[in-house]
Amino acid sequence: MMRLGVIADDFTGATDIASFLVENGLSTVQLNGVPPADYQVEAEAVVISLKSRSCPAPQAVADALNALEWLKRRSCRQFYFKYCSTFDSTAQGNIGPVTDALLAALGETQTVISPALPVNGRTVYQGYLFVMDQLLSESGMRHHPVTPMTDSNLLRVMEQQAQGRSGLIPAAIMDQGAEAVKRQLNALRRDGVRYAVLDTLHEQHLLTQGEAVRDMKLVTGGSGLAIGLARQLSQGRPPRTAQAAGAPRGGPAVVLSGSCSVMTNKQVARYRQQAPGQAIDVERCMAGDEALAEYARALRQWVESQSQGTLAPMIYATSEPETLRQIQQKWGAEASSQAVEQLFAAVARHLQDAGFQRFIIAGGETSSIVVQTLGIRAFHIGPTISPGVPWVRSIDHPLSLALKSGNFGDENFFARAQQEFV
């Protein structure tokens, strides 16, 4: 029986929440986009990954409703709209418009807003979102090139994007337990509040939230809320059985890093001291299709020549903010990004043909295009490498992948993924 259907607004965000569901006892399959109507899948939780975080709001709404309809046809009991723990969006959306559309389609009048993930330093207090000890608006997210977050108050951000009123369930109520949270939700509903922002300071608050919203038709949040909700739905079942189907295979491996986040920069710098690394030359990517194809073949040859060591070779486009700014000024942000992603896709295809079976990938866009290129429609979720980052195994191909959002994982993530789990 499908107990929970998750609609995720980006690829690694989908893997992020899937890992928490499995870690807390729910067997989970991730689907890469909305599958055909007759596609069969058996799992207690199904996560559909979309690419709707920063596309035009009408497209994000249409994609989310398409995913919802697929889940409803399978008698899914509860629905979860998953977005980033830093609430990545703009005054135009897409979190608010998608939430409104899902509420309307389900005939519901209220949902919760819970982006917090305390284990990764994302907390909410008095409705303000913090990243570690900084307000969201004072963190590195204020400089995000697509969704700069300049307001930390989730109630204001939500009301700018959506069609209803926001209200707060503060930490003092959360501390009183699930029944107190339910009473406050009901009070807010009577007062016409559609979006209840949940203060979250630690994991116990997530467990309280899971109990309080287990009967709510639609919930929204980051991956943290999934911890409490999965424990309610799995009734404390141990995660080992749920993780087994996604355990990584052996075989040749490669690291592909496209993210330019602060943490990925640290991870790449650390891994360059441990294994062979090759930086991408953006100028060669921008020299036309034929030049890009030739460059991809050359990188494949380099990877194969460096694959005899204990740790896998790495190809990376990761760069510091000033270098990234110079690249974007010279070539254009969108054009340079697309060219680099096309290069990653071509290299991955070559390596798959050469028998590589493990791909460790940093960056949501990079992960998405590589998975599409490898022809992976769905995968089982395996053991967690770092909070929100599991190994996954393709249902359709003999491939295992570790798909990491930019700022997730510790500095030694790339090496640990290989040394501790295979």
| Sign of CA pseudo-dihedral 308, 396, 346, 382 | negative
Residue ranges of the domains in the chain? Answer: 4-243, 253-420
Q: Give the ranges where 273-363 is alpha helix by DSSP (H).
A: 282-285, 289-305, 321-331, 333-353
Q: Do domains 4-243 and 253-420 have the same CATH topology?
A: no
Q: What value does the mean pLDDT take over residues 276-290?
A: 92
For residue 422, the model assigns a pLDDT of 65
Confidence of residue 327 (pLDDT cuts 50, 70, 90): confident
pLDDT, mean of residues 74-79: 95
Q: Quick one: pLDDT at residue 364?
A: 84
State the pLDDT at residue 228. Answer: 96
Give 253-420's CATH code, choosing from 3.30.565.10, 1.20.1250.20, 3.40.980.20, 1.10.645.10. Answer: 3.40.980.20
Average pLDDT estimate for 267-271: 97
Exposure class string for 153-174: b at 16+ Cβ within 10 A, else e: bbbebbbebbebebbbbebebb
pLDDT for 205: 98
Length of the chain (residues): 422
Mean pLDDT across the chain: 93
Q: Report the Cα 226 to chain-centroid distance in Å.
A: 13
Taking residues 290-299, report their average pLDDT.
Answer: 96
Domain 4-243 sits in CATH at 3.40.50.10840
Q: Which residue has the higher pLDDT, 332 or 111?
A: 111
